[in-house]
Structure 1
Amino acid sequence: MNNKIEKILNSDYIISFGSFLAQDNEEVKEAIIQTIAKKNAEFIYMHPIDNIDLKVYYSQLIKYEVGSEEGIASLLLETFATSPSSKIQGYLEDLDIGYISAESSAGEEEFEEAKEKSEEKTSKSLLVGRDITTHERAENIVKILAAIKKYTDLDVICLDEKTQKAVDSCEDENLEEVEELDSYNGTVVYTIFDEENCQKLVGSQSFARIAKIQNKDEVYLNFNGQKVKKEFIINEDLYGTVALCPIETDNISFLAENYRYKQVRIEKA
């Protein structure tokens, strides 16, 4: 059993942040389900896309805007920090909580509720997914996560090994101000690794309406002068306007580069 799975199994409070868990790591998902059953663990799921596979397991969903992970990380630090250094305290005092909450669509009361759920728990974990690793503000997010690890009772567990090493070794407390959020309007896709369905694009009825496409349409995803052909499939269990875009693990197209969310132009093939 690897160390990350062991930590999850020993937790009685888990926040999942920046990972569409069902597709990102089946082993981690199963470990969370197991610890919920055995230890009555509290599970908070934080992501822009609700996850039907986890709905019966999480006790709270904090749904935030695509791209706002830096702001969400700062809100987690502000919520859970105890006895931070003067440098981190200064950063927290300067945070515009109202602005970040409004921009990220994650209310202060949601974080207060998450904090309340943690109060009777003894082994708490913050599970950090690959959305953070590929974020353009990843460097500052890593510094915020390092502060969370140091000044809260949350054990920071990163699914990506490189990010874990960066968090574990980070001693830089010069946290930068949360950058203004880019808007992801229109048709946005989220890449997941799924060899079996890599020719498909899976979205909700809402996504289909915005993209002006229908179930089983052949479509092109256009991004920065590049295009990829997919078959669009409506999934009634998906909500919102972000579609899932399965790719192979060795994919070298624009879909596998940089941030996992892409604002694309969709045209029928």
Structure 2
Amino acid sequence: MVKKQFIEALNQSTKEQFAFTCKGFDLIICVGTLPSRHDTTLLKRLSESEAQLVYLFTMEDQALIPKSSFFSRYEVGSEEGIFALLSKSFLKGVKLPESIQSYFEELDEGYISAESNLGEEEIEEIESLYQEAKNVLLVLGDDVIRHPKASNIAHLAGLIARYGKAKLFVVGAISEEIIEANTKSVLEEIADLKSFDGVVVYQCPVINKEEENSLIGSAQFQMAAKVQSGDKINVTINQEVYPRTFVRDDSLKGVIALMPCAKADSSYPYHVVKIVKAEVQ
């Protein structure tokens, strides 16, 4: 249901604005997904594509970074601001309805850029790639669909497809889920960024069964959480306690740990957590 509502909020008047393949594009902009975890088929398609790749996410996907023409790490929770910056940038010079034009004119780009950690120079670099491209694919990942402001993100992404030159690829969607709509998108003010200060974990799909009992983090995360590889720990999320073993992975960077889960709910997958070492029995 969450995905269906998101697709409807993209507000596309024709199914032709959606794509289910990465072929035939010379620029792919991928936002809000960790393909090596969420969709290995997508990872394969992106890796094999000859298109230039702009990859925007909260952490590096080591399987995708070598392929990326441009990578930027944005702040957790800032996807709405990212799409506001991208849509305004891509639609510069395009004739838009007066209400949308006014919305972009009133956008506080400096504040959004600072809060999201996507700088003005980076936006200009992405815009340059977009303007040079003939066929653009905008890949919308799970984090975007599950964001608290998913509806407004969809409105903004939908504008890029409706008035720009991008097609939309909703990760995990099938053609039967695509909904045609032709309503007026009422854009909302960009919400202040929720604080994710502290120890943060990212709930993601498991690759193998053993991972269900692990919390996987970088050397930086290990220092921030004050744990050692192999430590038995309890991870508390919203008063629910998850027993885990901390596993250090030196291929990871940053201070967000992966928390593989066999079953994921529809909520935003990042959490500020409390981690304590389990008592030895």
Partner amino acid, structure 1, of 2:148: E
Paired residue for 1:171? 183
In the alignment, structure 1 residue 258 sits paired with structure 2 residue 267: yes
- Secondary structure of 1:117's counterpart equals helix
Following the alignment from structure 1 to structure 2, what is the Cα–Cα distance between the partners of residues 220 and 142? Answer: 36
Partner amino acid, structure 1, of 2:146: T
Q: Output aligned runs, 1:115-194, within 5 Å.
A: 115-161=127-173, 168-169=180-181, 171-194=183-206
Deviation at 1:257, TM superposition (A): 4.9
In the alignment, structure 1 residue 109 sits paired with structure 2 residue 121: yes
Show structure 1 runs of 5+ residues with no match: none
Deviation at 1:108, TM superposition (A): 1.5
Could you give the per-residue CA deviations for residues 105-145 of structure 1, whole angstroms, max 9, x where no partner exists? 11021111012123332110110000011111112112112
CA contact (8 A) 2:90 2:131 kept: no
Following the alignment from structure 2 to structure 1, what is the Cα–Cα distance between the partners of residues 179 and 258? Answer: 28
Deviation at 1:5, TM superposition (A): 4.2
**TM-score for the superposition, normalised by structure 2:** 0.86
Partner amino acid, structure 2, of 1:260: P
Partner amino acid, structure 1, of 2:276: E
Paired residue for 2:58? 48
1:67 pairs with 67, 77, 82, which one? 77
Deviation at 1:216, TM superposition (A): 1.1
In the alignment, structure 1 residue 226 sits paired with structure 2 residue 236: no
Following the alignment from structure 1 to structure 2, what is the Cα–Cα distance between the partners of residues 115 and 89? Answer: 18
Deviation at 1:169, TM superposition (A): 2.8
Paired residue for 2:7? none
Measured on the aligned residues, the alpha-carbon RMSD in Å equals: 1.9
The farther-off stretch of 49-58 and 256-265 is 256-265
Could you give the per-residue CA deviations for residues 204-235 of structure 1, whole angstroms, max 9, x where no partner exists? 11111111100111111102211111111111
Aligned CA distance change for structure 1 residues 120 and 147 (closer, same or farther; 3 Å): closer
Could you give the per-residue CA deviations for residues 76-126 of structure 1, whole angstroms, max 9, x where no partner exists? 101111222211111100100000000011102111101212333211011
Following the alignment from structure 1 to structure 2, what is the Cα–Cα distance between the partners of residues 199 and 77? Answer: 40
In the alignment, structure 1 residue 10 sits paired with structure 2 residue 24: yes
- Secondary structure of 1:263's counterpart equals strand
Partner amino acid, structure 2, of 1:159: V
Deviation at 1:4, TM superposition (A): 4.2
- Secondary structure of 2:132's counterpart equals coil
Partner amino acid, structure 2, of 1:183: S
Could you give the per-residue CA deviations for residues 150-176 of structure 1, whole angstroms, max 9, x where no partner exists? 1211112111439x9688536332100
**TM-score for the superposition, normalised by structure 1:** 0.90
Following the alignment from structure 2 to structure 1, what is the Cα–Cα distance between the partners of residues 28 and 79? Answer: 18
**Greater RCO structure (CA 8 Å; 6+ sep):** 2
Partner amino acid, structure 2, of 1:240: G
Following the alignment from structure 2 to structure 1, what is the Cα–Cα distance between the partners of residues 222 and 112? Answer: 30
- Secondary structure of 1:161's counterpart equals coil
The farther-off stretch of 43-52 and 147-156 is 147-156
Following the alignment from structure 1 to structure 2, what is the Cα–Cα distance between the partners of residues 144 and 167? Answer: 17
- Secondary structure of 1:98's counterpart equals helix
Partner amino acid, structure 2, of 1:247: C
Aligned CA distance change for structure 1 residues 227 and 147 (closer, same or farther; 3 Å): same
Q: Identity percentage over the alignment?
A: 31
Could you give the per-residue CA deviations for residues 36-62 of structure 1, whole angstroms, max 9, x where no partner exists? 2xxxx1101000111111121001112
Show structure 2 runs of 5+ residues with no match: 1-17
- Secondary structure of 1:265's counterpart equals strand
- Secondary structure of 2:84's counterpart equals helix
Following the alignment from structure 1 to structure 2, what is the Cα–Cα distance between the partners of residues 257 and 54? Answer: 25
CA contact (8 A) 1:67 1:181 kept: yes
Paired residue for 2:261? 247
Following the alignment from structure 2 to structure 1, what is the Cα–Cα distance between the partners of residues 135 and 194? Answer: 35
- The alignment covers a number of residue pairs equal to 256
